[in-house]
Structure 1
Amino acid sequence: MSGIIRTKLSVMMFLEFFIWGAWFVTMGTYLGKSLQASGTQIGTAYATQSLGAIIAPFIIGLIADKYFPAQKILGILHLAGGGLLWYGTTVSNFEGFYPIILLYMIIYMPTLALVNSVSFKQMANPNKEFPPIRFFGTLGWIIAGTIIGKLAWEQNNTLVLTFKMAAVASIALGLLSFTLPDTPPAKKGQKTTFSEVIGLESIGLLKNRSYLTFFLASVAICVPLAFYYNFTNPFLNEVGMKEAAFKQSWGQWSELIFMAAMPLFFVRLGVKKMLAIGMLTWVVRYVCFAYGNGDANYWMLIAGIVIHGVCYDFFFVTGQLYTDNLAGERFKSAAQGFITLATYGVGMLMGSYISGPIVDSHKTAAGHDWQAIWLIPAGIALGVLVLFLLFFRDKNAIETRPGLDIEEPSAAVQI
């Protein structure tokens, strides 16, 4: 791969996640302060991510993979997405904003798979060449949060600028996409079935009791996960944290650090302990949020943020690798698509619709009873952990390949 292509792919990956990170983290705060949205409405807005994740495989599997070059679809989707994001800044109520963000997420979520397709097509050895390029995606998310925090858009109630910033970046990526190397449709002329699109070919894995336990735990743990993605930024701003979006980006640095250390943990801990530690860390995070504040327990807020690497990597990345090893060569892609659809689609969708009413039910004259709110997802995560420990039996270590070959899910969130 030439230096020019590598640079273009790195910029593509940077912008892909910069766009998402520019508005997603702080949308709850924006909706609450600028559009006077309720917790239920905020949860409904975040549910559009899950709806997009559910629809994305059909756009990729039935359209992109069969008829059009990936880079051109990527360009069209981002140009359209940029226009939608900018238009969203002109509406002044949630009723007008919701259909815009819903349509945007249906457009955006398929691009997560498209940037991977464009990247892999240019690589002779994806195991070694992809991670350095994917790093720029996480960096893009971090830079977006840093800009928002350092420019004090949260404190100044100017978060509408996050959508304008994302819109400009989306248009830039749309234009860049048309200069990317040609990535012709992978399944041109082939017949694609419904079961192939959603990964049902791998459903036989659920006959394995341990994998069924893992699968159900993965869906269930996404319910408390939605509380974090939907309401952490409003919570941190309400309790008085300065530069909240910037400090939340520390979680992505943590993710990178623990990702690099994953092979060492695999060898020493094995599948069951890795997954259990990941779920336990979600409990710890929510307890930290429940008892943290802007004064003496400020350190608990920071701790709840920086353990993100353990929360995400130990459960979701370990789960990807566990699925990959169990599925084998024939069904690995279908299995990754199926688990992604179940977690970030169904699981997160349930979490988004559950979290909003709970936040509303704990509204007070001064804001919210956040301690009571955060103890609910902590309790859910603890319940999932206990059931997982009781029924999961596979204690073997994951077979790791050189370069820690972690497949990127076709439409997953990696935050």
Structure 2
Amino acid sequence: MGNSIKFRLTVMSFLQFFVWGAWLITIANYWFDTKQWDGGAFGAVFSTLGFSSLFMPAITGIIADKWVHAERLYGILHFLGGITLCFIPFATNESEFFWVIFLAMVCYMPTISLSNTIGYHVLKNNHYDVVKVFPPIRVWGTVGFIAAMWFVNLTGNKASYNQFIISGIAGILLGLYSFTLPKCPPQLGKSEKKSFVEAFGLNAFKLFLNYKTALFFLFSMMLGAALQLTNMFGDVYVSEFGYFGKYQGSLIVEKSTIVMSISQVSETLFILAIPFFLRRFGIKKVMLISMLAWVLRFGLLAYGNPAEGLWMIILSCIVYGMAFDFFNVSGSLYLETTVNYKIRASAQGLFMMMTNGLGAVIGSLASAAIIQRFFTFEFTNSSSLTTYLGIDQSNPVFARLTKFVDISPTGEFSKAVTLRDWSPIWLTFAGYALVIAVLFAILFKHKHNPAELSEISH
């Protein structure tokens, strides 16, 4: 029975992140390469993750705490989100694409926190040590993310709308599967006498009145601005090395999505290491390690390249596992140790709102605007473009970059071709992460108590 429970949660975790991995890393290739849509507008598209996380995780957390079984709500959201993604091929411009993705994310983003709620509830009801058992189950979510990335890349779909169809089908299947999961009923009893705030599930927002918890949510938001940056730009960053003559044909450029999936492989290892790090160093130090890992991640990308700097790109992918998981998983477990059990689903929704909501909105919009304003080159004629890239006009790259551009007999472009200068971009992000880490170390006070982790299992 025990193995069956863990296996069923493992399948849920695998499909949960397969749905996301099918397009999250490669959406920039579809946007910039296939469609050649406006670079400044890309931040708005990626901010749909954030806007939907501003309200949906908190709302669904309240619904799961009060009215609807968590596994049923989870299944409905995945089913609707999967159907929505299948409409991507019909989006013919930036605006239509934005709204389809936004509706899909309204359904998908709250399922991340709901999957944690379901996992914690089922494991506790079956008397498992959550700190020990949950990470190995969650690691299969990362395996699912990797599997989706590899499938999309190896089938030649990383720059086509098929990546969204693959994701949509997986979401529909997960939605149906969710109704077979163990029951996770609401934890707020209907017979309890409640105040107005409790009656509408708003008591979780009282957490902001506690200085320490409010500070935790503030840093969650600030780091959330950095969490999705490499998801937004990582694959297109590596792919754009292929524009330069000296890097064309290199393995890392041709199979960029597979190379970037090293980041998710790293996640699987660091997730398994989380129980050791938490018990040895405590929640605060683990989260601080995560922030410093982001500094290293961005710094390595700033100086890496597909030739002599290949080791830096690979090492940055390895560091990603520590950077991403140490904060997300330890932050989630922190709330489990400090929040009343009756509002834990709501608290997890608030955590998602601050990281993938406010943080992601700020990060996606600000980063896209900064890149477009300060780190984007414009080329207005054939000579300047080919000289910069070290290619000639017979090179297929030239045809791809000028696919939507009319070229005059003298080589002048009807509209500018834009390319990004990635090294200062990543250094800017590294500086931002460093400031967050220093402030967190100084301001967030949390004494390590090994006993608090054992409380999660009860």
Give me the TM-score of the superposition, normalised by structure 1.
0.84
Contact 1:291 1:300 in 2 (8 A): yes
Deviation of 1:357 (Å): 1.0
1:264 to 264, 271, 276: 276
Q: How far apart are the structure 1 equivalents of 2:301 and 2:8?
A: 40
> 2:403 corresponds to which residue?
none
| Residue 216 of structure 1 pairs with residue 268 of structure 2 | no
Q: How far apart in 2 are the matches of 1:151 and 1:266?
A: 39
1:385 alignment partner in structure 2: 437
- CA change 1:225–1:184 in 2 (3 A) is closer
For residue 306 of structure 2, give the secondary structure of its aligned residue in structure 1: coil
| Deviation larger for 301-310 or 144-153 | 144-153
CA contact (8 A) 2:113 2:349 kept: no
Q: What are the equivalent positions in structure 2 for 1:13-52 lying under 5 Å apart?
A: 13-52=13-52
- Residues 182-193 of structure 1 correspond to what in structure 2 (within 5 A)? 182-187=183-188, 189=190, 193=197
**Is the CA contact 1:213–1:392 (under 8 Å) kept in the aligned structure 2?**
yes
Q: CA deviation at 1:395?
A: 5.4
SS of 1:89's equivalent in the other structure is: helix
How has the CA–CA distance of structure 1 residues 308 and 406 changed in structure 2, closer, same or farther, with 3 Å as cutoff?
farther
Cα deviation, 1:16-54, whole Å, max 9, x if unaligned, reads 211111111111221122232233222111111112222
Deviates more, 1:256-265 or 1:162-171: 256-265
In structure 2, the residue matched to 1:292 is 304
CA distance in 2, matches of 1:63, 1:225: 27
Contact 1:13 1:115 in 2 (8 A): yes
The amino acid that maps onto 2:329 is: V
Distance 2:360 2:354 in 1: 9
Alpha-carbon separation, structure 2, partners of 1:396 and 1:179: 39
Measured after TM superposition, the shift of residue 356 of structure 1 is 0.9
Aligned CA distance change for structure 1 residues 198 and 251 (closer, same or farther; 3 Å): farther
CA gap of 1:178–1:302, structure 2 versus 1, over 3 A, is same
1:228 alignment partner in structure 2: 230
Aligned residues: 400
Task: Pick which of 57-66 and 215-224 moved more.
Answer: 57-66
Matched, 1:376 2:428: yes
Task: Give yes or no for the alignment of 1:309 onto 2:321.
Answer: yes
Q: Deviations over 1:113-156 (max 9, x none)?
A: 444455434741242654444333222111101212333434xx
SS in structure 2 opposite 1:296?
Answer: coil
**Change over 3 Å in CA distance of 1:57–1:220 after alignment to 2:** closer
What letter corresponds to residue 260 of structure 2 in structure 1?
Q
Specify the alignment match of 1:101 in structure 2.
101
In 2, Cα distance between the equivalents of 1:64 and 1:271?
27
Which residues of structure 1 form unaligned runs of 5+?
408-415
Q: CA deviation at 1:9?
A: 3.7
> Mapping of 1:12-411 within 5 angstroms?
12-119=12-119, 120-121=121-122, 123-126=125-128, 127=130, 130-154=134-158, 157=159, 159-187=160-188, 189=190, 193=197, 196-197=201-202, 199-206=204-211, 208=212, 214-240=216-242, 241-327=253-339, 335-361=347-373, 362-364=375-377, 365=379, 367-394=419-446, 396=448, 399=451, 401=453
Distance 2:153 2:97 in 1: 24
User: Which structure has the larger Rg?
Assistant: 2
In 2, Cα distance between equivalents of 1:58 and 1:272: 24
What is the rounded CA distance, in whole Å, between the counterparts of 1:305 and 1:251 in structure 2?
4
Structure 1 residues 5, 148: closer, same or farther in 2, change over 3 A? same
Tell me how far apart the structure 1 counterparts of residues 12 and 233 of structure 2 sit (CA, whole Å): 29
Q: SS in structure 1 opposite 2:92?
A: coil
Q: Counterpart in 2 of 1:410?
A: none
Task: Provide the secondary structure at the position in 2 that maps to 1:33.
Answer: helix
AA matched with 1:283: V
Shift of 1:359: 2.0
Q: Deviations over 1:316-372 (max 9, x none)?
A: 333344454455768766554433322221112111110111221222246211112
After superposing the two structures, state which structure 1 stretch, 4-13 or 327-336, moved more: 327-336
